[in-house]
Structure formats: structure tokens, C-alpha cells
């Protein structure tokens, strides 16, 4: 018999995030995807990584930013305790504008007013269509009722999307207290 030991696995010593398990081997967590990293890492670690890594920043917040703006976005998020998804919706709604050198927070009320105007307009159009269908006496009743229910469901989806796109981001800013901040309004 041979006295040389045989090893079936390789062990890595990668420093920062390792632990000695029973002092006979080291474990290191290497995520296989960005989703796994976002799901398992702490917020402070994610903030540190997002500032230094533009691809992780884009995946996390949904938009590109220069190395001078990325810390501003993370600082804004931390200051007002916002979620990553809320930052995405604020950017989509136009309340966060990113230039090459700064993050501009737009606190104007035009976007929620525009959103409510669109919801009202869509509601009037769908209400007119539903009432028009109610007046048709030649249509088969179950088909007419099914069409009215379908139009109501389509209206509900469109109105919900418009509210989520235009009204809720402004409410998020209001609830977080960012409307009274010394941000640069447009």
C-alpha cells in the first residue's frame, strides 16, 4: 500500500469571504449568476459592488450611469430607503434623470397629472364603448355581456399600468420625503 494521500477535491483560499469549517477546509461562496448574487448578498456589499461594476449596476437598477453618477444613485437610494425596483420606476417615469456628471431628481407634479389625465381619457373611451354595447338590442345577450366584461378587464389593465407608470413613482418620492429635499427640480 502507498502512504501518499489521494485528494478528490481542490480547495481554494480566496481570502475575504471565507470561513474555516472545522479548521480542515475553507468554503467560499461564488455565485453562479447575478440573480443569485442579488438574492444573497447584503445591501452594503451590493452597494459597494454596484458602484464599482457598471454591469451589475445596470442589472440592478435598469439603466447605465457613469462612475461619477453611480455613487449618487446609491446614496439617493440609501438616504430615502428606496428599493431597487422603486429606483427603476422613478427612472422610467422621468423623476430621475442621469447626465454624465450628476443625478437630477425631478419633483414636478406634471407626471402624475399627466397620468391621471390619461386614465380619465381611457376611462371615458371605455365607458362609452361599454354603454354603446349595452344599447345594442340585436346582439346576443351573452356575447354582449362577455364583450362588456372583456372591455372592463382591458380598461382595468390599462388604467393600472398608467397609474403604475406615472402616479406611483411620484407617490414614492412623496412618501420617502424626497419632494421636500434640496434636489434640482426641472
Over residues 107-161, the pLDDT tens digits come to 888 989 999 999 999 999 999 999 998 888 788 889 989 999 999 999 999 999 9
Average pLDDT of every residue of the chain? 85
Cell digits of residue 91: 427612472
Q: What's the rounded mean pLDDT across residues 43-59?
A: 93
Q: Determine the Cα angle at 50 with ends 60 and 82, to 5°.
A: 55
- From 80, 105, 130, the end of a domain falls on 105
Residue 39 placed within a domain? yes
Residues 84 and 56 in one domain: yes
Residue 14 placed within a domain? no
Domain that holds residue 142: 110-176
Residues 89 and 115 in one domain: no
Q: What is the pLDDT of residue 182?
A: 46
**For the whole model, what pTM was predicted?**
0.71
Residues 89 and 118 in one domain: no
- From 82, 105, 128, the end of a domain falls on 105
Number of separate domains in the chain: 2
Residues 101 and 116 in one domain: no
- From 105, 140, 156, the end of a domain falls on 105
Residues 114 and 172 in one domain: yes
Amino acid at each position: 500500500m502507498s502512504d501518499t494521500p489521494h485528494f478528490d477535491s481542490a480547495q481554494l483560499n480566496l481570502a475575504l469571504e471565507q470561513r474555516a469549517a472545522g479548521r480542515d477546509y475553507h468554503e467560499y461562496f461564488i455565485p453562479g449568476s447575478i440573480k443569485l448574487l442579488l438574492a444573497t448578498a447584503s445591501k452594503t456589499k451590493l452597494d459597494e459592488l454596484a458602484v464599482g461594476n457598471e454591469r451589475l449596476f445596470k442589472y440592478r437598477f435598469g439603466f447605465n450611469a457613469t462612475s461619477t453618477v453611480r455613487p449618487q444613485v446609491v446614496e439617493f437610494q440609501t438616504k430615502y430607503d428606496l428599493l431597487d425596483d422603486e429606483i427603476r420606476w422613478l427612472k422610467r417615469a422621468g423623476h430621475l434623470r442621469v447626465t454624465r456628471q450628476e443625478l437630477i431628481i425631478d419633483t414636478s407634479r406634471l407626471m402624475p397629472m399627466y397620468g391621471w389625465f390619461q386614465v380619465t381619457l381611457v376611462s371615458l373611451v371605455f365607458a362609452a364603448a361599454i354603454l354603446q354595447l349595452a344599447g345594442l338590442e340585436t346582439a346576443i345577450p351573452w356575447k354582449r355581456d362577455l364583450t362588456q366584461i372583456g372591455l372592463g378587464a382591458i380598461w382595468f389593465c390599462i388604467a393600472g399600468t398608467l397609474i403604475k407608470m406615472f402616479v406611483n413613482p411620484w407617490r414614492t418620492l412623496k412618501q420617502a420625503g424626497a419632494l421636500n429635499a434640496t434636489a434640482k427640480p426641472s
